[in-house]
Structure 1
Amino acid sequence: MKGRATLFTGLTLFALFFGAGNLIYPVTLGMESGTSYLPAIAGFILTGVGIPIITVVAISRIRGGAIELASRVHPLFGVVFISVVYLTIGPLFAIPRATSVAYESGLAPWLTESSTLGLLLFTAIFLGLVFFISLNPSKLVDRIGQLLTPVLFISIVGLVIGSFFLLSGDPQQANEKYSAQPFFTGFIEGYLTMDAIAALAFGIITVTSLRDRGVSQKMLTFRTFQAGGVAALGLMSVYISIGWIGAKMATEGNYDNGSAILAGAANIMYGDIGTLLLGLIVGLACFTTCVGLVVACAQFFSNRFPSLSYKQVALAVTLISFAIANLGLNQIVAYSVPVLVFVYPIAIVLVILTFTGGIIHHSPYVYRGAIILASLVSLYDGLVAAGVPMSAVTPYIQSLPLYEINLSWLVPALIGGIAGGIIHLLVPASPRTVSK
């Protein structure tokens, strides 16, 4: 396979990952972490770039994709968990968030104050167009995405270069959230991009693209790794650059969210023209992302549940996204955190088990043991993040290793996997054909 094809696949993967969260969270991290920016962004990159790319590589090792991966725990778990993944990157979180970011960047800067009616009208028109395009996307989204991604990247470079000369602020002292353990706080913040769980869906797109270009099964994982490196380089460059803008904006005023910070920076550096151009570009990026996600969700659920037509699912996804988008960006971010804190560790454990398959012989007992214990701890973390009182359980969770750095699920997952391995030796699982 020629290098240009690998590069093209890597850029496509970058475009798939690059959405609303890739803009709003790094800039917020930069503002809040201040003088602790470097360790904070390093932790963010680990979960926002490293784990998603590793997940895509893991999917390339499995012929059945994400469903096959999750079904190694149990077939029902495979369907339920991957359905949750599609709902998360679709109508429940990612699509409403992208729609809200488009509003915050495109229309809100021109309003004198926050407008519920303005948000309602914008989301109705925006998602109405998304639904219309998603009914017959053909190659339109790909063409827009291929054109838009370089333009957006160049615009970000322009903002970053301008920040060195036109933003006079300096990074401030890290706030309370980042002052103690900036690296691990950034690690958890990286969950919010949703890219690691999105990679479970995007991985099969990357693999299919490479196969269509003649890559053999033997070379598939290696070529996926190369393409992932291209995407990783682009994502890291964007995160570091956008985060630095946030760090320099700390003295420029108070902002409700990352989208407002970015719009404020564009206005300070280039005036109304900067605000307008950024709004248009981000809005188009969010639009193509939303179309892609509606199409992905509609295809997945209509294929898994034949009684539902593609159009019915697309309409349902759009209507749910419309309702949630009108909660506003801050509310969407707030309620998404508990779900992501619960789901992410499960996805990470699944990926780790994929790479250890040769050792554990893909034993369902190992998968089940690791997933069950990791899920129990991550469920606790999610409930706490949602504000549910858990005082009866908290002392036990706090006694777990790595609790202080928000990785308390890791050791239980390891113990569960070892216990599953012992059961596998005592009661071997029924033979099954597993893609390697």
Structure 2
Amino acid sequence: MNKTKQTLIVAFALFSLFFGAGNLILPPFLGVQSGANWYFVAFGFALTAVVVPILGILAHAKLQGTMFDFAKKVSPLFSSIYCIIMYSIAVALPAPRTASVTHEMAIAPFFSIPTIVTSCVYFGLVFLFVMNRSRLLNLIGKYLTPLIVIILLVIIGIGIFAGSTETVATVVSSPFNLITSGILEGYQTFDAIAGVVVGAVIVVSLNASTEGTYAEKKKLISQSGLMAGFGLFVIYAGLIACGYLLQSSFPENASRTEVLTSLSQLTLGRIGTTFLSVLVALACFTTAVGIITGASDYVSSLFKGSKKVYTITAVISSVIGILVGSYNVAFIIDVALPALMFIYPITIILILLNAVPERFASKTVFKGVVLITFIFSVPDFLKFLVSIEYLENITSIIPLANYSLGWVLPAFIIFLILNAIERKEP
């Protein structure tokens, strides 16, 4: 296959595997909240929903292994526990959420079908794709993603040119609040998790279908990742801008899904709901396929690549998807938040450490930075579960802790200290 064509196919596949439920419903709502300063929230959102995930893909291009390789420098035991937690969260929350979003936005407006029926059919089809993983990249990259991109660009193009800048009161106003709001809302896309999970899927799929040297595959994955990242940024920024430009046209106190539905109707008219339904179904479906394929790959690798284990894992993951996917989107988002506050900081740090040059990321640096990140992210995690007075006293003295980013400065400082110590050692 032509190298350029293959790069485009992998880039489209990456884009589609990243682009799921949260990627659609979150950006327009952020635009409504941010108002005229929408570009600040777009910047924050891009950090956790574009930059970090694509760095994850670049790290995979360097490692060309499995997710286990992401954390093995800390310790093999830690890496195994991390992988189990990551795949458990991915299978139990973002994958089922794609079915829930599909039902609420693509099925319920047209048919009076129970959510459990939608989930059963949805994950039945997901299972078929997962079991035909050798054709995964071509099916997604050649056919599904281009349709997603076309529909999105039409909505954004019409929205930007047709929108007005009528002033509407916004929820948050200061630039820093907007940036941090965008960063934390970017957590809900699960894209950092997807960068680690989906990157492994791409590596395994390429190894199964493509011959080439390490350097050739690294170049292919890196170029595809950068192209997918650029596409994600354009779409996110466009949807956030549309949320701002058309905010006066949305229903008062509209939810995330209502804003997205209104956006499609305002830009594409009566046919907008149909277009949006197709878009939502495609975007959600490809993400679910990527997550379950990644989980099945990992569990299978623990049993010497057993195809039987791969199938069993895919079945169990699909059943979990059916059960959790029968709940509404708002419930799944609320349940996901504590889990994200727990796993996201460690995931971001592991991605960054794997992306930087080897000389700055020794085993000692990995262990120290990950440990400090975990310690300083515990208060952020706990405050979403329980209300404890002494937690407020702790967060008040940790920089950025009030923004649920208390781990950032300590992790950066310990990274610098450990590298400085290692440079001085003979």
**TM-score higher than 0.5 here?**
yes
Aligned length: 421
In structure 2, the CA distance between the partners of 1:222 and 1:404, relative to structure 1 (3 Å rule), is: farther
Q: Which moved more, 1:225-234 or 1:209-218?
A: 209-218
Displacement of 1:333 in angstroms is: 0.9
Aligned pairs for 1:173-322 (under 5 A) are 173-176=169-172, 181-207=177-203, 216-218=213-215, 221-251=218-248, 252-254=250-252, 257-305=255-303, 309-322=309-322
Displacement of 1:399 in angstroms is: 1.2
In structure 2, the CA distance between the partners of 1:67 and 1:105, relative to structure 1 (3 Å rule), is: same
8 A Cα contact 2:187 2:340, kept in partner: yes
Cα distance in structure 2, aligned partners of 1:255 and 1:391: 32
Partner SS for 1:392 = helix
Cα distance in structure 1, aligned partners of 2:49 and 2:129: 29
Amino acid at match of 1:186: G
Displacement of 1:78 in angstroms is: 0.5
Displacement of 1:163 in angstroms is: 1.8
Displacement of 1:25 in angstroms is: 1.2
Deviations 1:310-362 (A, max 9, x none): 33222211121122112210011111122112211111211232345533562
In structure 2, the CA distance between the partners of 1:136 and 1:64, relative to structure 1 (3 Å rule), is: closer
Show structure 1 runs of 5+ residues with no match.
429-436
Cα distance in structure 2, aligned partners of 1:178 and 1:184: 10
Matched residue, 2:332? 332
Displacement of 1:165 in angstroms is: 5.2
Matched residue, 2:89? 88
Deviations 1:266-324 (A, max 9, x none): 22343332211220232133223323322222232233257972332222111211221
Cα distance in structure 1, aligned partners of 2:362 and 2:210: 30
1:389 aligns with 2:390: no
Displacement of 1:224 in angstroms is: 3.5
Partner SS for 2:25 = helix
Displacement of 1:231 in angstroms is: 0.7
Deviations 1:109-141 (A, max 9, x none): 347xxx8x6323222222233234434455267
Q: Report percent identity of matched pairs.
A: 29
Aligned pairs for 1:57-136 (under 5 A) are 57-89=58-90, 91-110=91-110, 118-136=114-132
In structure 2, the CA distance between the partners of 1:136 and 1:204, relative to structure 1 (3 Å rule), is: closer
In structure 2, the CA distance between the partners of 1:427 and 1:88, relative to structure 1 (3 Å rule), is: farther
Deviations 1:182-234 (A, max 9, x none): 11211121111111121112223444566665654346545443222211111
Cα distance in structure 1, aligned partners of 2:340 and 2:312: 27
Q: How much is the aligned-residue C-alpha RMSD, in angstroms?
A: 3.1
In structure 2, the CA distance between the partners of 1:240 and 1:423, relative to structure 1 (3 Å rule), is: closer
Amino acid at match of 2:178: P
8 A Cα contact 1:56 1:200, kept in partner: yes
Displacement of 1:74 in angstroms is: 1.1
Matched residue, 1:373? 372
Amino acid at match of 1:371: V
Cα distance in structure 1, aligned partners of 2:321 and 2:351: 29
Cα distance in structure 1, aligned partners of 2:335 and 2:361: 38
Q: What TM-score do the two structures reach when normalised by structure 1?
A: 0.85
Displacement of 1:381 in angstroms is: 0.7
Cα distance in structure 2, aligned partners of 1:222 and 1:325: 37
8 A Cα contact 1:28 1:243, kept in partner: yes
8 A Cα contact 2:115 2:327, kept in partner: no
Cα distance in structure 2, aligned partners of 1:417 and 1:154: 42
Matched residue, 1:432? none
Amino acid at match of 1:322: I
Cα distance in structure 2, aligned partners of 1:207 and 1:95: 20
Cα distance in structure 2, aligned partners of 1:348 and 1:389: 26
Cα distance in structure 1, aligned partners of 2:372 and 2:331: 30
Displacement of 1:155 in angstroms is: 0.9
Partner SS for 1:73 = coil
8 A Cα contact 1:21 1:193, kept in partner: yes
Deviations 1:66-115 (A, max 9, x none): 212211111111111122222222x211111111111122123347xxx8
Matched residue, 1:149? 145
Deviations 1:407-432 (A, max 9, x none): 3202322455567679989999xxxx
Partner SS for 1:43 = helix
Matched residue, 1:46? 47
Partner SS for 1:51 = helix
Partner SS for 1:389 = coil
8 A Cα contact 2:12 2:140, kept in partner: no
Amino acid at match of 1:199: G
In structure 2, the CA distance between the partners of 1:255 and 1:356, relative to structure 1 (3 Å rule), is: same
In structure 2, the CA distance between the partners of 1:250 and 1:2, relative to structure 1 (3 Å rule), is: same
Matched residue, 1:434? none
In structure 2, the CA distance between the partners of 1:359 and 1:318, relative to structure 1 (3 Å rule), is: same
Displacement of 1:10 in angstroms is: 2.1
